[in-house]
Amino acid sequence: MKEQSIVPKLELNQLKVYSPVGRGAKGVVFHVKIDEFGEDLALKVVLKSVIKSKNLKNNNGVEVQNRVFFEQQVLREFNHPFLPKLKGVVETESVFGYAIDYCPGGNLNSLRNQQVEKMFSDDIIRFYGAEIVLALEYLHKKGIVYRDLKPDNVLIQENGHLMLVDFDLSTKLVPKSPKTSPSFEQMKTPESEKKKLPQLPRLLSFYKCSKSGFLPQETVKSGNRPMSDSGNSSELDSVGKSNSFVGTEEYVAPEIIQGNGHDFAVDWWSYGVVLYEMLYGTTPFKGANRKETFYRILSKSPELVGETTPLRDLIRKLLEKDPKQRISLEEIKGHDFFRGVDWDMIVRLERPPFIPTQQDVGEGVDGNKAIHVESVVYGIFKKEEVSKSNSDNSNNNCNDNNYNYNEKCEENNCKSVDSKLCEESIKRGVWVEGLEQPSMSSNFLVF
């Protein structure tokens, strides 16, 4: 039986609630601290009545609620530096929620929008792209298909490394014959040996280098070899496929739209869309509406404007419409774009490209904090429930049977409760040298 860590039950009156920092289709996220520990946390709170009303509107009954609890379940299992840990659960008569690690640096999309021409340099794409690969590799080895990879779900931690969040659309597929590999905890360097290791202060340590450049014997193989006919995208060789119609419109894989079943390969498609967006500042298949976007995903090739580069080649192989021919994990890690990257070194890097500075936060709200949290969530979702009920009567484009997907599409249109908070957290950060990344303004410090 799999051993899981004991997660404490929290009371809302224990928490110092600073502010709402974002929201999604199912809940509102607050920046909080537990009085006893003083640790910054992100508290996701869901209104029970909203879940119940969604259950009544959908044929799938309690599946909406089950997805919320599934997210809590997988959070309990995580033990990886690029994934959140479940720090506590909350439940009252009207809400339930859970606390995870708080990321003060905002999300990857907000950071990109602060850059000149709203695009990242290749060096920054390589760093963040490598961290996303490691996070997806960990998830897939645990049998978890993420299914909602997008920049909005990639947050920047206090130490500058990334963290994937929002797993309510994820699912588990039982591997047929998973590759045996040690857990991240087993791979961690013992404390007694850490002092002997050299410090890794700069992005240069991200690569395997010598005085003459990359060491040939340490550089991984190129990913330019042709794909095999049998395909290798589902590296875990899963037993079955999921037929759920879920995802976020511009990042959803063709096989999800087609409804023929999907597996781990959908995450690599979404990864290709994310890399494309980091490079060009827009997604590759966006249409005027959902129908056109789906048409483009199914029939159009991505426009990879510019000279042929390893990054563009990698994106092209990730955005292969046939999941059996899509590039696999090992081929991604061995691709020319990641040539020379020391995958074991990434976690130990002390100075990622962008490091958020410590924000000055005010005191928590006065009075009963439980009433505050519940009233904010209630106010947001009850208003939307009335608005959505009215719009549903005149809009037949959304199929109720596909509620998981439609809710996620609605989430794209949901603005942050206070979007300035995210922007301010980014402006207070600093950039690190050696990335050939121009600063947006004097708010970015290059040293």
* pLDDT (0 to 100) of residue 206: 57
Kindly state whether residue 432 falls inside one of the protein's structural domains: no
Q: Report how far residue 118's alpha carbon sits from residue 122's, in angstroms, rounded to the nearest whole number.
A: 13
pLDDT at site 387 = 56
CB 200 within 8 A of CB 189: no
In a domain, 240, yes or no: yes
For residue 423, being part of any structural domain is answered with: no
Partners of residue 214 on adjacent β-strands: 209
Q: What is the pLDDT of residues 308-325, one digit of tens each?
A: 999 999 999 999 999 999
CATH number at residue 320: 1.10.510.10
State the pLDDT at residue 200: 46
In this structure, the chain runs to a length of 447
| Catalytic option among 101, 122, 123, 148 | 148
- Say whether both 150 and 296 belong to one domain: yes
Clarify whether 152 is annotated catalytic: no
- The count of structural domains within the chain is 2
Shared-domain flag, residues 146 and 56:
no
Cβ neighbours, 10 Å, residue 68: 18
One domain, residues 94 and 231: no
pLDDT tens, residue by residue, 87-138: 999 988 888 889 999 999 999 999 999 998 899 999 999 999 999 999 999 9
In which domain, by residue range, is 276 found?
108-355
Which residues, including other chains, have CB under 8 Å from residue 3's CB and lie 6 or more apart? none
Q: Could you report the per-residue pLDDT of 348-391, keeping only the tens digit for each?
A: 888 899 999 865 444 444 434 444 787 777 777 766 554 555 55
68, 168 Cβ separation under 8 angstroms? yes
φ and ψ at residue 101, rounded to 5 degrees: -60, 140
Place of tokens 């298909």: 145
Most confident of 16-30, 344-358, 386-400: 344-358
- Per-residue pLDDT tens digits for 138-159: 999 999 999 999 999 999 999 9
Task: Indicate if 74 and 133 belong to the same structural domain.
Answer: no
Residue 301 CA, chain-centre distance (Å), reads: 25
Together in a domain, 343 and 406: no
**What is the maximum span of the chain, computed from C-alpha positions, in angstroms?**
68
10 vs 28, 95, 98, 372, 441, CA distance in Å? 17, 13, 9, 16, 41
CA angle 429–430–434, rounded 5-degree value: 150
Query: What CATH number did the domain enclosing 404 receive?
Result: 3.30.200.20
Convert the pLDDT of each residue in 57-79 to its tens digit. 554 435 566 777 888 889 999 99
pLDDT greater at residue 176 or residue 433: 176
Task: Tell me the pTM.
Answer: 0.75
Amino acid 384: pLDDT: 59
